[in-house]
Structures are given as structure tokens and as C-alpha cells.
Amino acid sequence: NYGMFGHVDAGVLHVRPALDMCDPLQEKLMHEISDEVVKLVAKYGGLMWGEHGKGFRSEYGPEFFGDELFAELRRVKSAFDPHNKMNPGKICTPLESHEELVKVSDTKRGFYDRQIDVKVRDSFKQAMECNGNGLCFNYDTASPMCPSMKVTADRRHSPKGRAGLVREWLRQLTEQGIDILDLEKQSLESASVKTLLDRVRNSFNKRHQYDFSHEVYEAMNGCLACKACASQCPIKVDVPSFRSRFLNIYYSRYQRPAKDYLVANIETMLPLMAKAPKLVNGVLKQKWVQSLTASTVGYVDAPLLSIPTLAKRVTQLKTFDMQALAAMSSEDKANHVLIVQDPFTSYYDADVVDDFVKLVIKLGKTPVLLPFKPNGKAQHIKGFLAQFARNAKSTAMFLEQVADLNIPMVGVDPALVLCYRDEYNEILGDKRGEFDVLTVHEWMLPRLSEFTVSSGDSQPWYLLAHCTEKTKLPNAEKEWGAIFTHFSAKLDTIPVGCCGMAGTFGHEVDKLEMSKDIFALSWKPRLEELPAERCLVTGYSCRSQVKRFEHVKTKHPLQALLEIV
């Protein structure tokens, strides 16, 4: 079995045999196939190419080029790399060197990967299947993948680097006789007093005892969990997925920082805080509180609660009543929209939810605000997988019941909406249910024929989309454009990468500089060229980041539509 693909313009045909390099017999077969392919292409005046990893065919170089030409290659190598420091053994060696070329039979990654238990390899496929193609080393500032790699230029902070570190971590654990899957299962159970004491002791001894997992943690700690790799990587290496599993296991051995508990419990705290928003905001504005929070918790630039709260803005809205909605006719249901709340927009940016309510009414539909249910994405990001599983199960059960009403459910923040499809499916599997929560543009696009065309807006609007949205929903920007066109308005898509906020990432003291640097890559220069009042930003995190660094409040696209319709 093999796969074939290529480049017509360059006359290149790739043939990729389906070989399991963890199997010694198949690894041996690779060398035999390579020898035969070299003979075959030479017969027709061609050469064996590799594109990625072409240095591994170096042993065939002397035969292909001939002694005279190959000596010239070695002469060039001698001039630029006399000590054979750059890719040693690849292509050729300096004339004065006696070092050998890399051989096809040399030790490969599969030699180490096969040391990992098969069940573990299957469980951690997202890391194991990285083929090292290196697309995540992309420095294009408008490309979503990979923001941490772009600003650090450190390959450990790339999907390829993180996948490699996790594979080595798994190998070392297997070598020590540790069943990582059993350990993971134990970590999802309630901690005993002994476990808590062990964590304290291990954390105390952390500085004096080497543990490779600390090196893995350093790489994972720099990940923004933006999930660009999960769709932009050709192999779909999903770092946030195995990152959350690693953090869950890592913190079963070591103590967590206080900021993690703050993030994990934010959805429980927000409804309580919203009962006295002026008091909470007043406290958060105090300089000494900000300083204390930064030094003790490691959290900066905490957002303020919306005043008035969402609850006080929508007092005239139809109250959610499951039985009453179920009793409606199909025609009535088709004219209703159920708005799914998320913690950040509902409590920190209530204007957006309120404006969506107004937009739905303007479009001739009846909005119904669903009761707030924890989404849990922040828990997943921080590796609180037991808590996330409980929240996801509870919320999924509620949304599955609501889905039986056959009334569209819509959420305003794309990252939180996509969590229902991605992380929920990952943690719950078949128990997730069949419910579907739509983004605003997904709800509007197929219904455009139902909405009256307006007179339009002569000035263009500018869309800066959330990186998770445009990587998981690659047509999102075009679909937003089609919606604006329907209402006789012009929407220009601005190519930007990650904004650097990524949920709570940008609020953490140790991530602040990286967050600023990522924002400066593409968002800052683009915003400086555009009128702020015409910039539309789909993600709450992105709007929060723009407000923090540019001191301007940007709109969600639905808020522009409210003005246009």
C-alpha cells in the first residue's frame, strides 16, 4: 500500500509507502525499496527526491553525481561549513572530513517510538503521527500557525517540537515501567490525602531533582491553545489536545499555581460576581489589588464586569420555558432563536449579546436567552480534565434536551461555540449527543432570503477574525462577506494571525511579554492602518486584547449588521 501525490509544475511525483517504522521488518524494507527506487529513477535519467528529509538519501549522492561533481559539492561545503556543523552528514561532507554520510539504515525516530507501549501510541496519536514536515515553522505573520514559534524562534515552541517532546516523555515513562494510561485514569479520580502530600513533597524537591517532564512542561506552558495546528498542520497534530492531557498528569504529581484554580473556577464565580458588579469592579480597579493579584496569583489586566449586566439589559425578553417552547407549532419554532450564553461575552461584553438580541428582533425573529451553563473550555486548556468532563456532561445533557425542540441554537463567540464540537466530542465521545450550536454567521447565511435587503453602507467594514474560527471554519470570512453583501455593505477581510490573548493566556504575568509580541506581529500594524470604528472582531479574546493595547473598543460583526439592517 502507498500514497501518491506530486507537483505538476516541477515534474515531481511523490510515492509514500505505507510503512510502520515502529516495525523492524518494515524499517528494513524501507532500505530495500529505496535501493530499488534509486535504480529505477536512474534508468530514466531522474533522481530520488525527498523534499522534506531529502538529506536521508545522501548515501546515494556519490553514485548519482559521479566522483568529479560530488568532489565539487564537497569543495563548496568546505568553503561554507569547514567543520561540518550544519546538517552534518546530509548531502555531503567537507573535503577534509572523514565523517560518513547519513545512511538510510541509520537510527530513525521509529527506533525510539517502538519503545512506547502500543496502547499508549494509539492513545496519543496526535503526537505520534507528526511526520516532521515543519509547516509549523512558518514565519508569515498573517498565518495562524504557530504564534509561539513565530515570536520565540524556538522550535520547542512549535507543534513539531511539542509533539517530539511528548513522544520522548512517553518513551521515558514506558522505559521506567510506568503505565501512563493507568496514571491518567488515576488522575481523573478524587485526590486522596496521600496524593496531596506527595504533590507538596514533589513540588518542594522540584529544584533538586531532575525530571524530564519539566522540560515538556516548559514547551506546553508556552502554547496558546489556539488550535491552529489542529487544522493547519497537514497531519492535524492537535497540540491543545495532548497538552491538556499532559498538564492533567503533570499536576497529579506537582502542585498547581493559584492562577490555574482562578481560571478553572471562573464560570462558577462569574454569576456570583455579577450580583454586585460595581463593587467587584471597584475592587479590581484598586492599584494595590492589581499589584497584589499580579505578585501572588500571577494575573494581570483583569477585565471588568459589564454594567448594566446582561440580566438587567434583557428584562423584556421572552423567558426560557421548555414546555411552552415544545408546545409551539413548527411555524412558530422556525421564527425563534435560542441564544446560547458563554461566560466571557455574557459577563464581560454584554453589549454584544444584547445587540444580538436586537438584531434577531430586527430580522423578524423571536430571541430566547438560554440559562447560562458552564462551557468549560478554560478547564480543558488548563488540564482540569475531571472537572471539564463533569461540566461538559452536564451542559451537553441540557443542550441535547433543548435540541429536541428543533429551534436553532446560536452562540456569539466562535471559540466557545466550537468547543461544543471539538473538546466536547473528545472528552464525551458517543455520550456528547447530537445537538448543534451555530455561530452567528452559520445561522444567518442559509436564511438570508428571509431577511429584507437594506439600503446599505457606502463605507467598507474590516473583518479581523478569531484564529480558531478561521482555521476550524475556513469559509467563515467569505461567509461573513456574503452576509454583508446581502445587506448591500462591503466587508474587507484583513489577514491577521493570532492576537496573543487566547482566552486567559495574555492575562498571565509570565506570558505578558509573549502576548504583546504576538499582538505586534500582525494585529497592531493592521489596526494602525485602519479606522478603529470600522474594525469588526469576532472573538471576545481578540476584542479584549485590542482594547488593552490599542485603547479602543471594537465591534463584533453582528453589531455592525445591527446598524446596517
User: Are 121 and 241 part of one and the same domain?
Assistant: yes
Given a cut of 70, is residue 248 above it in pLDDT? yes
C-alpha distances in Å from residue 395, one per residue of 69, 269, 370, 421: 68, 17, 12, 13
In a shared domain, residues 339 and 223:
no
Could you tell me the three cell numbers for 482?
Answer: 456574503
Segment 452-466, tens digit of pLDDT: 887 777 899 999 999
pLDDT of 52: 64
pLDDT at residue number 316: 86
**pLDDT confidence tier of residue 180, bands split at 50, 70 and 90:** very high
What is the tally of structural domains in the chain? 4
Q: How would residue 10 be classed by pLDDT, with cut points 50, 70 and 90?
A: confident
What is the pLDDT at residue 192?
67
Q: Same domain for 402 and 459?
A: no
Tell whether 267 is covered by a domain: no
* Residues 430, 527 share a domain: no
pLDDT in tens, 514-551: 999 999 999 999 999 999 999 999 999 999 999 999 99
In the predicted model, what is the mean pLDDT of residues 278-296?
Answer: 95
Domain for residue 287, yes or no? no
Q: Cell numbers at residue 144, please? A: 495562524
Same domain for 135 and 183, yes or no, is: yes
249: containing domain: 115-255
Q: How far apart are CA 185 and CA 166, in angstroms?
A: 18
Q: Which range has the top average pLDDT, 111-115, 129-133, 434-438?
A: 434-438
Structural domain includes residue 104:
no
Phi, psi of 503 (to 5 degrees): 70, -115
Do 360 and 461 share a domain, yes or no? no
d(CA 552, CA 546): 7
Interval 37-72: pLDDT, tens: 889 988 998 877 766 666 778 889 898 889 999 999
- Residue 304 domain-assigned? no
The answer to whether position 557 is within a domain reads yes
- pLDDT attached to residue 50: 65
CA-wise closest residue to 413 among 466, 464, 336? 466
Give yes or no for residue 109 having a pLDDT over 70. Answer: yes
Check residue 454 and give its pLDDT: 73
Residue 498 and residue 399 in one domain: no
250 and 121 fall within a common domain: yes
pLDDT at 15: 80
> What average pLDDT does this structure show over 320-331?
93
Query: What would the mean pLDDT of 227-248 be, rounded to a whole number?
Result: 93
- How far the first Cα of the chain sits from its last, in Å, is 56
Rounded average pLDDT over 137-148: 92
What pLDDT, on a 0 to 100 scale, did the predictor assign at position 215? 95
Last residue of a domain, one of 255, 282, 297: 255
Residue 292 lies in a domain: no
Is pLDDT of 281 > 80? yes
Spell out the residues 6+ positions from residue 144 whose beta carbon is closer than 8 angstroms to its own: 226, 228, 232, 467, 470, 471, 497, 498
pLDDT of res. 395:
97
For 249-314, the three-class secondary structure string (H helix, E strand, C coil) is HHCCCCCCCHHHHHHHCHHHHHHHHCCCHHHHHHHHCCHHHHHHHHHHHCECCCCCCCCCCHHHHC
Instruction: Return the minimum-mean-pLDDT range out of 92-106, 259-273, 299-313.
Output: 92-106
Lowest mean pLDDT among 92-101, 103-112, 468-477: 103-112
Beta bridge partner(s), residue 437: 409
235 lies in the same domain as 148: yes
Q: Which of 193-202, 472-481, 548-557 has the lowest mean pLDDT?
A: 193-202
Residue 38 forms part of a structural domain: yes
The mean of the pLDDT values for the chain is 92
Check whether residue 495 and residue 384 sit in a common domain.
no
User: Does residue 298 lie in a domain region?
Assistant: no
pTM listed for this prediction? 0.89
432 and 459 co-located in one domain: no
pLDDT digits (tens, 9 = 90+) for 388-437: 999 999 999 999 999 999 999 999 999 999 999 999 999 999 999 999 99
Question: What's the confidence (pLDDT) of residue 361?
Answer: 96
What would the mean pLDDT of 184-205 be, rounded to a whole number? 76
The CATH number of the domain holding residue 415 is 3.40.50
Averaged pLDDT, 358-385: 96
Which one of 438, 462, 488 terminates a domain?
Answer: 438
Q: Do residues 426 and 402 both lie within one domain?
A: yes
Residue 471: name the closest of 53, 217, 138, 132 by CA: 138
| End position of a domain, from candidates 54, 80, 106 | 80
Which stretches within 95-254 are classed as H helix? 109-113, 118-123, 125-128, 147-152, 159-175, 180-187, 193-204, 212-221, 229-232, 239-250
Q: Which three cell numbers stand for residue 529?
A: 492602518
